[in-house]
A and B are shown apart, each in its own frame.
Chain A
Protein backbone atom coordinates (compact mmCIF):
# COMPACT_ATOMS: atom_id res chain seq x y z
CA UNK A 1 0.00 0.00 0.00
CA UNK A 2 1.40 3.40 -0.82
CA UNK A 3 0.43 6.85 0.33
CA UNK A 4 -2.05 7.47 -2.47
CA UNK A 5 -4.18 4.56 -1.20
CA UNK A 6 -4.99 6.35 2.04
CA UNK A 7 -8.64 7.38 2.16
CA UNK A 8 -10.19 10.24 4.10
CA UNK A 9 -10.99 7.96 7.03
CA UNK A 10 -7.32 6.95 7.31
CA UNK A 11 -6.29 10.58 7.15
CA UNK A 12 -8.74 11.45 9.93
CA UNK A 13 -7.29 8.72 12.12
CA UNK A 14 -3.76 9.99 11.46
CA UNK A 15 -4.94 13.51 12.33
CA UNK A 16 -6.35 12.20 15.59
CA UNK A 17 -2.98 10.61 16.32
CA UNK A 18 -1.40 14.04 15.83
CA UNK A 19 -4.07 15.61 18.01
CA UNK A 20 -3.49 13.33 20.95
CA UNK A 21 0.30 13.33 20.73
CA UNK A 22 0.66 17.05 20.23
CA UNK A 23 -2.03 17.81 22.83
CA UNK A 24 0.06 16.07 25.42
CA UNK A 25 3.20 17.85 24.24
CA UNK A 26 1.44 21.24 24.26
CA UNK A 27 0.48 20.67 27.88
CA UNK A 28 4.11 19.92 28.71
CA UNK A 29 5.24 23.03 26.83
CA UNK A 30 2.67 25.19 28.63
CA UNK A 31 4.00 23.91 31.94
CA UNK A 32 7.59 24.73 30.97
CA UNK A 33 6.65 28.22 29.78
CA UNK A 34 4.05 28.80 32.45
CA UNK A 35 1.84 30.19 29.65
CA UNK A 36 -1.19 29.03 27.78
CA UNK A 37 -0.21 27.15 24.64
CA UNK A 38 -2.83 26.33 22.01
CA UNK A 39 -2.54 24.10 19.02
CA UNK A 40 -4.08 24.08 15.60
CA UNK A 41 -5.90 21.13 14.11
CA UNK A 42 -3.20 18.76 12.88
CA UNK A 43 -2.56 18.57 9.18
CA UNK A 44 -1.59 15.51 7.25
CA UNK A 45 0.78 16.63 4.57
CA UNK A 46 1.53 14.21 1.79
CA UNK A 47 3.99 15.96 -0.44
CA UNK A 48 6.29 15.48 -3.33
CA UNK A 49 9.88 16.31 -2.41
CA UNK A 50 9.89 19.55 -4.38
CA UNK A 51 7.28 20.98 -2.00
CA UNK A 52 9.03 19.98 1.23
CA UNK A 53 11.22 23.07 1.36
CA UNK A 54 8.22 25.39 1.29
CA UNK A 55 6.56 24.44 4.56
CA UNK A 56 7.34 26.25 7.82
CA UNK A 57 6.99 29.74 6.40
CA UNK A 58 9.69 29.47 3.78
CA UNK A 59 12.81 27.42 3.19
CA UNK A 60 15.17 30.12 4.44
CA UNK A 61 13.46 30.91 7.75
CA UNK A 62 15.93 30.36 10.59
CA UNK A 63 14.58 27.85 13.08
CA UNK A 64 15.70 25.52 15.84
CA UNK A 65 15.17 21.90 14.84
CA UNK A 66 15.28 18.98 17.24
CA UNK A 67 15.25 15.62 15.49
CA UNK A 68 14.81 12.21 17.08
CA UNK A 69 14.56 8.75 15.60
CA UNK A 70 11.48 6.84 16.71
CA UNK A 71 12.23 3.33 17.91
CA UNK A 72 10.20 0.28 18.93
CA UNK A 73 7.14 -1.02 17.10
CA UNK A 74 7.19 1.85 14.63
CA UNK A 75 10.09 3.65 13.01
CA UNK A 76 10.54 7.07 11.53
CA UNK A 77 11.36 10.49 12.82
CA UNK A 78 9.91 13.09 15.05
CA UNK A 79 10.97 16.64 14.34
CA UNK A 80 10.19 19.51 16.65
CA UNK A 81 10.78 22.92 15.11
CA UNK A 82 10.84 26.01 17.27
CA UNK A 83 10.75 29.61 16.20
CA UNK A 84 13.99 31.20 17.36
CA UNK A 85 12.46 33.67 19.81
CA UNK A 86 10.39 30.88 21.38
CA UNK A 87 13.53 28.81 21.75
CA UNK A 88 15.17 31.80 23.37
CA UNK A 89 12.36 32.20 25.92
CA UNK A 90 12.29 28.48 26.70
CA UNK A 91 15.98 28.30 27.44
CA UNK A 92 15.95 31.41 29.61
CA UNK A 93 13.11 30.00 31.67
CA UNK A 94 14.92 26.70 32.10
CA UNK A 95 18.09 28.54 33.12
CA UNK A 96 16.18 30.78 35.56
CA UNK A 97 16.97 33.93 33.61
CA UNK A 98 14.70 36.71 32.43
CA UNK A 99 12.54 35.40 29.54
CA UNK A 100 13.62 38.13 27.12
CA UNK A 101 17.32 38.06 27.88
CA UNK A 102 19.45 37.54 24.78
CA UNK A 103 20.41 33.94 24.26
CA UNK A 104 23.94 32.90 23.64
CA UNK A 105 24.28 29.50 22.02
CA UNK A 106 26.79 27.45 23.91
CA UNK A 107 27.11 23.90 25.19
CA UNK A 108 24.81 24.54 28.14
CA UNK A 109 22.02 26.35 26.29
CA UNK A 110 22.14 23.85 23.44
CA UNK A 111 21.82 20.95 25.82
CA UNK A 112 18.92 22.76 27.51
CA UNK A 113 17.19 22.98 24.12
CA UNK A 114 17.78 19.29 23.52
CA UNK A 115 16.22 18.60 26.90
CA UNK A 116 13.14 20.59 25.86
CA UNK A 117 13.02 18.41 22.76
CA UNK A 118 13.30 15.32 24.93
CA UNK A 119 10.46 16.36 27.20
CA UNK A 120 8.09 17.37 24.41
CA UNK A 121 8.73 14.47 22.08
CA UNK A 122 8.62 12.13 25.05
CA UNK A 123 5.15 13.36 25.95
CA UNK A 124 4.02 13.18 22.31
CA UNK A 125 5.20 9.62 21.91
CA UNK A 126 3.97 8.38 25.28
CA UNK A 127 0.47 9.61 24.40
CA UNK A 128 0.78 7.82 21.08
CA UNK A 129 1.97 4.69 22.82
CA UNK A 130 -0.93 4.75 25.29
CA UNK A 131 -3.44 5.28 22.48
CA UNK A 132 -2.21 2.52 20.20
CA UNK A 133 -0.81 0.03 22.67
CA UNK A 134 2.39 0.00 20.62
CA UNK A 135 5.84 0.28 22.11
CA UNK A 136 7.15 3.64 20.86
CA UNK A 137 10.29 5.27 22.19
CA UNK A 138 12.40 8.26 21.19
CA UNK A 139 16.13 7.93 20.51
CA UNK A 140 18.69 10.55 21.65
CA UNK A 141 17.87 14.01 20.23
CA UNK A 142 20.03 15.88 17.74
CA UNK A 143 19.83 19.62 17.28
CA UNK A 144 20.37 22.08 14.44
CA UNK A 145 19.79 25.81 14.20
CA UNK A 146 19.51 26.71 10.55
CA UNK A 147 17.27 27.20 7.51
CA UNK A 148 13.92 25.43 7.79
CA UNK A 149 14.28 23.85 4.36
CA UNK A 150 17.64 22.30 5.14
CA UNK A 151 16.29 20.88 8.40
CA UNK A 152 13.08 19.46 6.90
CA UNK A 153 15.02 17.79 4.13
CA UNK A 154 16.68 15.42 6.59
CA UNK A 155 13.66 13.15 7.24
CA UNK A 156 12.64 13.57 3.59
CA UNK A 157 15.92 12.05 2.43
CA UNK A 158 15.17 8.92 4.44
CA UNK A 159 11.84 8.65 2.61
CA UNK A 160 13.65 9.19 -0.68
CA UNK A 161 15.18 5.72 -0.48
CA UNK A 162 11.79 4.05 -0.85
CA UNK A 163 9.15 6.48 -2.09
CA UNK A 164 8.62 9.71 -3.98
CA UNK A 165 6.32 11.28 -1.45
CA UNK A 166 6.63 12.01 2.23
CA UNK A 167 3.95 11.99 4.92
CA UNK A 168 4.13 14.53 7.71
CA UNK A 169 1.65 14.68 10.58
CA UNK A 170 2.04 18.34 11.46
CA UNK A 171 0.69 20.24 14.45
CA UNK A 172 1.37 23.92 15.03
CA UNK A 173 1.67 25.35 18.53
CA UNK A 174 0.30 28.81 19.06
CA UNK A 175 0.80 31.35 21.80
CA UNK A 176 -1.52 34.33 22.27
CA UNK A 177 -3.72 35.11 19.31
CA UNK A 178 -1.98 33.62 16.34
CA UNK A 179 1.74 33.51 16.90
CA UNK A 180 3.18 30.21 15.77
CA UNK A 181 5.95 29.26 18.15
CA UNK A 182 6.58 25.66 17.29
CA UNK A 183 5.74 22.95 14.86
CA UNK A 184 5.65 19.25 15.50
CA UNK A 185 6.22 16.74 12.72
CA UNK A 186 5.76 13.03 13.09
CA UNK A 187 7.24 11.35 10.04
CA UNK A 188 6.51 7.62 10.16
CA UNK A 189 7.95 5.39 7.45
CA UNK A 190 5.54 3.56 5.13
CA UNK A 191 5.25 0.38 7.20
CA UNK A 192 4.83 2.36 10.38
CA UNK A 193 1.83 4.43 9.43
CA UNK A 194 0.10 1.24 8.33
CA UNK A 195 0.97 -0.24 11.71
CA UNK A 196 -0.37 2.87 13.44
CA UNK A 197 -3.64 2.68 11.50
CA UNK A 198 -3.86 -1.06 12.10
CA UNK A 199 -3.39 -0.70 15.86
CA UNK A 200 -6.45 1.55 15.92
CA UNK A 201 -8.52 -0.85 13.87
CA UNK A 202 -8.57 1.47 10.88
CA UNK A 203 -7.16 -0.97 8.33
CA UNK A 204 -9.92 -3.58 8.40
Chain B
Protein backbone atom coordinates (compact mmCIF):
# COMPACT_ATOMS: atom_id res chain seq x y z
CA UNK B 1 0.00 0.00 0.00
CA UNK B 2 2.77 2.44 0.89
CA UNK B 3 3.86 2.60 -2.76
CA UNK B 4 0.61 4.32 -3.62
CA UNK B 5 0.98 7.20 -1.19
CA UNK B 6 1.88 10.54 -2.74
CA UNK B 7 2.78 13.51 -0.54
CA UNK B 8 1.54 16.94 -1.50
CA UNK B 9 3.66 19.72 0.02
CA UNK B 10 2.84 23.35 0.66
CA UNK B 11 2.10 25.27 -2.56
CA UNK B 12 1.87 22.04 -4.52
CA UNK B 13 -0.77 20.08 -6.46
CA UNK B 14 -0.93 16.43 -7.42
CA UNK B 15 -3.39 13.78 -8.59
CA UNK B 16 -3.59 10.03 -8.88
CA UNK B 17 -5.91 7.23 -9.87
CA UNK B 18 -7.13 4.19 -7.96
CA UNK B 19 -5.54 2.72 -5.78
CA UNK B 20 -3.49 5.85 -4.96
CA UNK B 21 -3.65 7.92 -1.79
CA UNK B 22 -2.79 11.62 -1.54
CA UNK B 23 -1.42 12.92 1.75
CA UNK B 24 -0.71 16.36 3.18
CA UNK B 25 0.93 16.69 6.58
CA UNK B 26 0.39 19.49 9.06
CA UNK B 27 -2.06 21.83 7.34
CA UNK B 28 -2.39 25.06 9.30
CA UNK B 29 -3.91 28.15 7.72
CA UNK B 30 -3.37 26.58 4.32
CA UNK B 31 -6.31 24.82 2.70
CA UNK B 32 -6.30 21.31 1.29
CA UNK B 33 -8.66 21.20 -1.70
CA UNK B 34 -9.61 17.61 -2.49
CA UNK B 35 -11.26 16.94 -5.85
CA UNK B 36 -12.81 13.56 -6.68
CA UNK B 37 -13.96 12.26 -10.04
CA UNK B 38 -16.16 9.33 -9.09
CA UNK B 39 -16.36 7.82 -12.58
CA UNK B 40 -12.62 7.79 -13.13
CA UNK B 41 -11.81 7.08 -9.48
CA UNK B 42 -9.34 9.90 -9.82
CA UNK B 43 -8.39 12.14 -6.90
CA UNK B 44 -6.55 15.45 -6.88
CA UNK B 45 -5.23 17.57 -4.05
CA UNK B 46 -4.15 21.21 -4.01
CA UNK B 47 -2.37 22.63 -0.95
CA UNK B 48 -2.84 26.38 -1.23
CA UNK B 49 -1.33 29.06 1.03
CA UNK B 50 -3.00 32.29 -0.04
CA UNK B 51 -6.42 33.29 -1.39
CA UNK B 52 -6.10 35.29 -4.63
CA UNK B 53 -3.19 35.39 -7.09
CA UNK B 54 -3.93 38.97 -8.14
CA UNK B 55 -3.43 40.21 -4.57
CA UNK B 56 0.19 39.04 -4.43
CA UNK B 57 3.31 40.70 -5.80
CA UNK B 58 4.70 37.40 -6.99
CA UNK B 59 2.20 34.97 -8.49
CA UNK B 60 4.53 32.89 -10.67
CA UNK B 61 3.85 29.72 -8.67
CA UNK B 62 0.23 28.95 -9.52
CA UNK B 63 -0.08 26.23 -6.87
CA UNK B 64 0.32 28.83 -4.12
CA UNK B 65 -3.10 30.47 -4.53
CA UNK B 66 -6.68 29.23 -4.24
CA UNK B 67 -7.79 30.55 -7.64
CA UNK B 68 -4.82 29.52 -9.79
CA UNK B 69 -4.12 26.40 -7.72
CA UNK B 70 -7.59 24.97 -8.40
CA UNK B 71 -7.25 25.76 -12.12
CA UNK B 72 -3.82 24.13 -12.27
CA UNK B 73 -5.11 20.98 -10.59
CA UNK B 74 -8.16 20.88 -12.89
CA UNK B 75 -5.97 21.21 -15.98
CA UNK B 76 -3.79 18.32 -14.85
CA UNK B 77 -6.75 16.11 -13.95
CA UNK B 78 -8.60 16.92 -17.18
CA UNK B 79 -5.54 16.05 -19.24
CA UNK B 80 -5.51 12.68 -17.51
CA UNK B 81 -9.15 12.11 -18.43
CA UNK B 82 -11.19 13.51 -15.54
CA UNK B 83 -14.26 15.64 -16.15
CA UNK B 84 -15.33 18.71 -14.16
CA UNK B 85 -18.95 17.57 -14.49
CA UNK B 86 -18.25 14.44 -12.44
CA UNK B 87 -16.30 16.20 -9.74
CA UNK B 88 -17.06 16.87 -6.11
CA UNK B 89 -14.86 18.75 -3.65
CA UNK B 90 -13.96 18.35 0.00
CA UNK B 91 -12.06 20.97 2.00
CA UNK B 92 -9.85 20.85 5.07
CA UNK B 93 -7.62 23.36 6.87
CA UNK B 94 -7.96 27.13 7.01
CA UNK B 95 -7.20 27.28 10.71
CA UNK B 96 -5.88 30.23 12.64
CA UNK B 97 -2.86 28.78 14.42
CA UNK B 98 -1.94 31.84 16.44
CA UNK B 99 -4.16 34.44 18.04
CA UNK B 100 -2.57 37.83 17.74
CA UNK B 101 -3.53 40.74 19.84
CA UNK B 102 -1.74 43.10 17.47
CA UNK B 103 -3.03 44.36 14.15
CA UNK B 104 -1.23 41.82 11.97
CA UNK B 105 -2.86 41.11 8.61
CA UNK B 106 -2.03 37.46 9.18
CA UNK B 107 -5.27 37.43 11.10
CA UNK B 108 -7.98 35.56 9.25
CA UNK B 109 -5.69 34.28 6.48
CA UNK B 110 -7.13 30.79 7.03
CA UNK B 111 -10.68 32.05 6.76
CA UNK B 112 -9.88 34.09 3.67
CA UNK B 113 -8.30 31.02 2.08
CA UNK B 114 -11.50 29.03 2.66
CA UNK B 115 -13.72 31.84 1.34
CA UNK B 116 -11.67 32.21 -1.83
CA UNK B 117 -11.64 28.45 -2.40
CA UNK B 118 -15.43 28.22 -2.12
CA UNK B 119 -15.94 31.19 -4.44
CA UNK B 120 -13.73 29.62 -7.13
CA UNK B 121 -15.37 26.18 -6.82
CA UNK B 122 -18.82 27.74 -7.07
CA UNK B 123 -17.87 29.53 -10.27
CA UNK B 124 -16.75 26.19 -11.67
CA UNK B 125 -19.94 24.44 -10.51
CA UNK B 126 -18.00 21.95 -8.43
CA UNK B 127 -20.09 21.18 -5.32
CA UNK B 128 -18.35 21.20 -1.92
CA UNK B 129 -19.91 18.11 -0.36
CA UNK B 130 -18.09 18.25 2.99
CA UNK B 131 -15.51 20.27 4.86
CA UNK B 132 -13.57 20.46 8.07
CA UNK B 133 -12.24 24.00 8.17
CA UNK B 134 -11.48 26.77 10.67
CA UNK B 135 -10.63 26.32 14.32
CA UNK B 136 -7.17 26.87 15.77
CA UNK B 137 -5.52 23.50 15.16
CA UNK B 138 -3.45 21.74 12.52
CA UNK B 139 -4.66 18.88 10.35
CA UNK B 140 -3.07 16.00 8.47
CA UNK B 141 -5.23 14.73 5.63
CA UNK B 142 -5.32 11.50 3.62
CA UNK B 143 -7.41 11.29 0.50
CA UNK B 144 -8.42 7.87 -0.81
CA UNK B 145 -9.12 7.23 -4.49
CA UNK B 146 -11.10 4.10 -3.68
CA UNK B 147 -14.20 5.99 -2.56
CA UNK B 148 -13.15 9.64 -2.24
CA UNK B 149 -13.14 9.60 1.52
CA UNK B 150 -10.95 12.14 3.27
CA UNK B 151 -9.38 11.28 6.60
CA UNK B 152 -8.52 14.14 8.93
CA UNK B 153 -6.08 13.65 11.79
CA UNK B 154 -5.50 16.24 14.49
CA UNK B 155 -3.72 16.59 17.81
CA UNK B 156 -6.33 16.71 20.54
CA UNK B 157 -9.33 16.97 18.20
CA UNK B 158 -9.54 13.34 17.12
CA UNK B 159 -9.64 11.62 13.76
CA UNK B 160 -12.57 11.85 11.41
CA UNK B 161 -13.65 11.00 7.90
CA UNK B 162 -15.54 13.43 5.73
Q: Which residues of chain A have a CB within 8 Å of any CB of chain B?
A: 48-53, 58-60, 62, 65, 67, 69, 139-140, 142-154, 156-158, 160-164
Contact = CB atoms under 8 A, between A and B. Distances in A.
Task: Determine the main DSSP class of A at the interface with B.
Answer: mixed
B130 interface: no
A67 B98 contact: yes
Contacts of B97: 65, 144, 146, 150-151, 153-154
A148 B26 contact: yes
Given A139-B102, A151-B97, 19 more contacts: A48-B11, A49-B9, A50-B9, A59-B26, A65-B98, A67-B98, A69-B104, A140-B100, A142-B101, A143-B98, A149-B27, A149-B28, A151-B28, A154-B28, A156-B10, A157-B109, A161-B56, A161-B57, A164-B11
Contacts of B55: 161
Contacts, number: 116
B143 interface: no
A147 B156 CA distance: 11
B37 interface: no
Contact of A150 (B9, B95, B106): B95
Contacts of A143: 98
B57 A150 contact: no
Interface string B117-140: 000000000000000000011111
A147 B10 contact: no
Interface stretch (B38-46, B58-66, B70-78, B80-88): B58-66
22 contacts: A49-B9, A49-B12, A50-B10, A51-B9, A53-B10, A140-B100, A140-B102, A142-B98, A146-B97, A149-B26, A149-B28, A150-B26, A150-B97, A153-B27, A154-B28, A154-B97, A156-B49, A157-B30, A157-B50, A158-B106, A160-B56, A164-B58
A50 B98 contact: no
Instruction: Report the interface size class on chain B.
Output: 35 or more
B8 to A, nearest CB: 8
Contacts of A154: 28-29, 97-98, 106
Contacts of A150: 26-28, 95, 97, 137-139
Contacts of A142: 98-101
Contacts of A160: 11, 49-50, 56, 64
A171 to B, nearest CB: 21
